[in-house]
A = this chain, B = another copy of it.
Amino acid sequence: MSEYAAPLQDMRFALDLAGLAEVAALPGYEDASPDVIDAVLEEAARFTGEVLSPINRVGDRTGARLDEEGRVVMPEGFAAAYRAWADNGWNGMGCDPAHGGAGMPHLAVAQIQEMVMGANMAFSLCPLLTAGAIEALALCGSDEQKALYLERMVSGEWTGTMNLTEPQAGSDLAAVRTRAELQPDGSYRVFGQKIFITFGEHELASNIVHLVLARTPGAPEGVKGISLFIVPKFIPDADGNPGARNDLRCVSLEHKLGIHASPTCVMAFGDAGGATGWLCGEEHRGIEYMFIMMNAARYAVGLQGLAVAERAFQHARAYAHERRQGGEAGAKGGGSVPIVRHPDVRRMLMRMKSQVEAMRALAAVTAAARDRAARHPDEAERARAQAFVELMIPLVKGWSTETANEVASLGVQVHGGMGYVEETGAAQYLRDARITNIYEGTTGIQANDLVGRKIARDGGEAARAVLADMRQTVADLRAAGLEAIAVGLDDATQALERGIDFVLAHWRSDLRAVLAGAVPLLMLFGRAAGGWQLARGALLAQHRLAAGDGDTDFLRAKMVSARFYADHVLSECGGLAHMVCSGADAVLDEAAGL
């Protein structure tokens, strides 16, 4: 079993493609020079390869388990790894220096996150959920709450969770029933059951800060009656140290297909009189706060897709070089060759590699836009960047995670029969990847967000801006003589335009027809946007090759990736556009016999 090796060379390329120099020059990132960032990435590569990757398999094999006292027992090595994680300051890389964070740009943090997720996806979920809780507290907590919680969570001394889902309320948070009753001292008593709570219980940290969606008495029905509460596992004492055990507990862990080392908890609040909680932000605005955080969370899950796909690719490529089987096609004699010589194995590996690189490039460009949206001195530029981010988030989440499943399955296939044997390790990536297109909103939810909030709501303005940029890239490719890639991207852009036009034309008149094609449109948009970034990468690589600037082999390989992607992935866009524009009748036909 090979350990994870962070793809530093392609990450650096993605950083350049996304404009690292401009991002690092934004106000507030003065300390994050490209040199500093590069050193941090080198160190992150070492940490993830040496500390997190080696416990990935044991985590899968052993899994987290609940003991008879209701404690979650983590697999061997996880406690030590978490200590090293917190002690080395990784937890606060992207956090505000005011709370002890390193204040790194999103663009750099995304690369670190990818490494952590690629090395050990189950482990990565604990800091990921903590980061979400930090963001929520920073957004809507009182000064007192921030003082009490933020520094400890940024350092990793305490972790955080998000308690949204209930058995009857999965994607539909309007159905939340957990209730919170105001007490005379201003605190609340919280009662209810939450499911699918990631790292809802563990002993890696000395406290767990649960953020819980609940209803106050008399609150309006639906999403407008839900508030956000802070419900810590141990109630902080006067010095801010963990004090009395709160009335909440982990009732059971889910037995899942993958991410076995991530405890997915059923949490019971208030079985013994009520869990003590405090309102976070204003009453009835809980869903609104969640939506603000959701972009970051969805982006991060998209990175998980990228990360697990990268690891599946590394594993499969190594096997394809090592395994000898059959002779070279078309050659007489000569004995067996490594299977990487076989055309179909190459095809599979190139499907994996080119899509991984496309996902990484699109994620990086989106991260850079997040930095511009937050920090750019020009308001119009901030707004433009924010609109781009909003449009890209459902793609980074939905397309990357669907693609991750394809890539991880190809990784199994490259291994042949050995891929089906768990000890090989390839199957774990497939099992782990399978959650990424479900949690933080299924692909269907992402697609509804894309067609509704992101395309229809602004009358297609943000989407058309991207189409115009894509067409500019097509023109640049033609000018540079990269005709095959230009043809692929041109066709994909035209297909995407047909899909977007259909959404805009029918959003008000035939909503159900638009929704019937929403996922195909998301996959079309994701493929096209990924191809656009690979094409920009091919132009950059060609430019550097001509200038004699950089690793020739790597740069030539980038051009091959873009070419492969154009012929094998962008060629799927026409069919997807047909599903969007002509596919609704049969989907909605009541005679279908479903």
Contacts and interface: CB of A to CB of B under 8 A. Distances in A.
Interface string A178-213: 000000000000000001100000000000000000
A567 B594 contact: no
Contact of A420 (B423, B438, B553): B438
Contacts of A320: 594
Given A416-B171, A427-B257, A568 B583 contact: yes
A33 interface: no
B349 A594 contact: yes
A585 interface: yes
Interface string A547-575: 00000011011011101100110011111
A312 interface: no
A409 B422 contact: no
Which range holds the interface residue count of chain A?
Answer: 35 or more
Contact of A171 (B325, B353, B520, B568): B325
A172 interface: yes
A591 B551 CA distance: 12
A196 B317 CA distance: 23
A560 B594 CA distance: 10
A470 interface: no
B170 A336 contact: no
A578 B571 contact: yes
Nearest to A556: B591
Contacts of A563: 585-586, 589
Given A350-B587, A416-B438, A561-B592, A422 B568 contact: no
B519 A344 contact: yes
A409 to B, nearest CB: 7
A564 B578 contact: no
Contacts of A574: 571, 574-575
Contacts of A512: 329-330, 343
A170 B344 contact: no
A172 B341 CA distance: 15
A303 interface: no
Interface of A: 165, 170-172, 175, 195-196, 254-258, 317, 320, 325-326, 329-330, 336, 340, 342-350, 353, 405, 409, 412-413, 416-423, 427, 430-431, 434-435, 437-439, 442-444, 447-448, 484, 511-513, 515-520, 553-554, 556-557, 559-561, 563-564, 567-568, 571-575, 578-579, 582-589, 591-594
Which 8 interchain pairs have the tightest Cβ spacing? A557-B593, A564-B586, A343-B515, A344-B444, A571-B578, A343-B516, A330-B511, A571-B575
17 contacts: A170-B416, A257-B420, A257-B427, A330-B512, A342-B515, A343-B512, A347-B516, A413-B438, A413-B443, A420-B439, A430-B434, A560-B593, A564-B586, A567-B585, A568-B586, A573-B575, A574-B574
